[in-house]
Amino acid sequence: MERLDYKKAGVDIHAGYEAVHRMKKHVQSTFTDHVIGGLGGFGGLFSIAMAKEMEEPVLVAGTDGVGTKLKLAIDMNKNDTIGIDCVAMCVNDILCQGAKPLFFLDYIATGKLLPEQAEEIVAGIAEGCRQANTALIGGETAEMPGFYQTGDYDVAGFCVGIVDRAKAIDGSQIKAGDILLGIASSGVHSNGFSLVRKILADRQIDLMQTLNEQTSPTVGEMLLAPTRIYYQALMPLIEQGLLKGLAHITGGGFYENIPRMLPAGVMAEIKKDSYQLPEVFQLLQKWGNLEWDSMYNTFNMGIGMVLAVAAEKAEQIKQDLNNRSWPTYEIGKVIAGDGGVKLC
């Protein structure tokens, strides 16, 4: 009878050691002064001594993955930005509560652990953490033969932030007459890719084809543009108390996400022509022959974050964001109503 071991079952422990070695420098590049110890423990340690300065510190947590955008990254063998998406999906969510991100943990599952691939994924996660001033204090890489195909993988993450309860953003102060500002997205971000992939398959669109000139990005590069992380844009405004509400435009688009920040008795009125719709959404609509309502209920449509602000502060905030290279538009206003979004 053949003598079995873990490697013959499909799990290569030595590949795991190599992957961890490759990841180490990327992980350590995210460490802040609050990280205690190094890598290799059973849990990541992070000091929250800064909570002493708050009257009522509240931890805010968020978790998410990247969805089927991963399939495009795998098909193109481009794994160095998908980690940014994972961080963005978590960090942008907790920013909506006014929380300052503290630390992040990741989970990578794969059919066969390829150290080079794993390093590329973690390098992207580390880059996202640096953009969010967030420490990557731990994670897990699971090799699962027979569950995932060789080369396939999944990525998920978990972020914890902190906010003084009195300064938390809950949308309760939003009222009719407030202005809605939209900060530009970097593209499709990380939602709606099951529909995107269906469109590509049905229309037989090659990920490697260019859109116009030879120097233009390929379809795949355009779609894989990493999700924008809004920490640098929003944290100065959060600290000044200038934001009444925030909505991260993810799955469900405008219709599902903007109402999440609104109190009872009001609704959002959005002007579709208040900004230039990015080319990627025009192409998806054309290729898929999609209804526009479906587009606004699926994609971010070029707006990654919506801010509710007092009318008298709107121009100041918009100019500040634009001056700091965060393209921002006045996309609508808050009106009396029974909730929801009105597009006009």
pLDDT digit string (tens) for 61-100?
A: 999 999 999 999 999 999 999 999 999 999 999 999 999 9
Q: Name residue, tokens 């110890």.
A: 37
**In the prediction, which pLDDT does 211 show?**
75
> pLDDT tens per residue, the chain (344 residues)?
667 666 766 777 777 778 787 888 888 899 999 999 877 778 999 999 999 999 999 999 999 999 999 999 999 999 999 999 999 999 999 999 999 999 999 999 999 999 899 999 999 999 999 999 999 999 999 999 989 988 899 999 999 999 999 999 999 999 999 999 999 999 999 999 999 999 999 999 999 888 776 657 899 999 999 999 999 999 999 999 999 999 999 999 999 999 999 999 999 999 999 999 999 999 999 999 999 999 999 999 999 999 999 999 999 999 999 999 999 999 999 999 988 999 99
May I ask the CATH architecture of the domain 13-167?
2-Layer Sandwich (3.30)
**In the prediction, which pLDDT does 6 show?**
65
User: What is the C-alpha to C-alpha distance for residues 320 and 242, in angstroms, rounded to an integer?
Assistant: 12
Instruction: Give the SS3 label for residue 269.
Output: strand
Tokens of 235: 């944290």
For the beta carbon of residue 239, count every other beta carbon within 10 angstroms.
11
Distance (Å) of CA 38 to CA 25, 42, 103: 11, 11, 14
Report which of 181, 182, 177 is spatially closest to residue 335, judged by C-alpha positions: 177
Q: CB of 72 within 8 A of CB of 193?
A: yes
**In the prediction, which pLDDT does 336 show?**
97
Q: CB of 48 within 8 A of CB of 57?
A: yes
Domain boundaries, the chain: 13-167, 179-343
Q: Name residue, tokens 């109503």.
A: 337
β-pairing, 135-143 with 100-110?
parallel
For the chain, what percent of residues have pLDDT higher than 70? 97
Tokens of 19: 């992957």
User: What is the C-alpha to C-alpha distance for residues 35 and 282, in angstroms, rounded to an integer?
Assistant: 44
Q: Where are the beta strands (DSSP E) in the chain?
A: 35-36, 45-46, 57-65, 100-110, 135-143, 153-164, 179-184, 245-248, 266-270, 303-309, 328-336, 341-343
Q: CB of 208 within 8 A of CB of 279?
A: no
In this structure, whether the domain defined by 179-343 belongs to CATH 3.40.50.1010 is answered with no
Instruction: Give the SS3 label for residue 83.
Output: helix
**In the prediction, which pLDDT does 20 show?**
80
For the chain, what percent of residues have pLDDT higher than 90? 83
For 135-188, how does the pLDDT look when each residue is reduced to its tens digit (9 = 90+)? 999 999 999 998 998 889 999 999 999 999 999 999 999 999 999 999 999 999
